[in-house]
Amino acid sequence: MKKLLIFDLDGTLADTINSIRHAVNLAMAHFGYPERSYEEVRLAIGDGARVLIKRTLPVEERENDETVDTVLAYYEKMYDITHMEADRCYDKMAQTLAELHKRGYKIAVLSNKQDVYVRSIVDKIVERGIVSLAMGQREGYPRKPDATVPLIITESLGFSPEDTVFIGDSEVDVLTAKNAGMMSIGCSWGYRGRAVLEEYGADFIVDTPPQLLDILG
């Protein structure tokens, strides 16, 4: 029986794109660049804030490191304001987390979003006491799909990779699970969809949060 569940945040626990898009477009407007649509931001997220800005800048600016760094710094100031616009879990996700916790699972969250925002969003959208550890991108640590931080989480909570399931909506999450030696569950309601999760070989795919209860028992 698996004992530790590590959840991705964006596109898995909650739809956070509009809060991200708001900050992206404040940055784009500030520097005179075109605004980005929900769909453009959806396709740009998942690999951290710097990659997000590279992908949403005009093509001719994406390899200009000075421009990327400048726009990123402004984006981060704006996201500090907008990130709490993501104020609720997906439908039935909060109840599913509560039930998994009741059944004895230890629950953690790992995102490529900046660490401070991961912790504040999780504190807002998930009932206190359910999530044992929430982590995001920290200086000096590699992002998902690198296995380093997932393995830090398992060790710090007293588990092994074999005890752990990584749950997320993207190819990054499936690859993270594979790299860390964990079982993977893909969430088709998120930002990449079932086809991508199948392509990358998720061990299981669920279409609604309560289906996690059927797989995990």
Across all residues in the chain, what is the average pLDDT? 96
Q: Which long-range contacts (CB under 8 A, 24 or more apart) does 67-75 make?
A: 70/31, 71/27, 71/28, 71/31, 71/33, 74/26, 74/27, 74/30, 74/31, 75/23, 75/24, 75/26, 75/27, 75/49
Write down the CATH number for the domain with range 4-15+87-216.
3.40.50.1000
Per-residue pLDDT reduced to its tens digit, 63-72: 999 999 999 9
Task: List, in sequence order, the alpha helices (H) in 34-147.
Answer: 38-44, 49-56, 65-82, 93-102, 115-125
- C-alpha 9/C-alpha 41 separation (Å) is 16
Q: Which two tokens stand for residue 21?
A: 């898009």
Q: What is the pLDDT of residues 70-122, one digit of tens each?
A: 999 999 999 999 999 999 999 999 999 999 999 999 999 999 999 999 999 99
Model confidence at 2, pLDDT cuts 50, 70, 90, reads confident
Query: CA-CA distance, 107 to 125, in Å (whole number)?
Result: 14
- Domain extents for the chain? 4-15+87-216, 17-85
Residue 1 has pLDDT above 70, yes or no: no
Task: From 87, 43, 7, select the one nearest 193 (Cα to Cα).
Answer: 43
CA distance 42 to 196: 14
Query: What pLDDT is stored for residue 12 in this prediction?
Result: 98
The per-residue pLDDT for range 8-55, each reduced to its tens digit, is: 999 999 999 999 999 999 999 999 999 999 999 999 998 889 999 999
Identify the pLDDT of residue 46. Answer: 84
Q: Tell me the one-letter amino acid at 99.
A: E
Q: What is the pairing mode between strands 204-206 and 106-114? A: unpaired
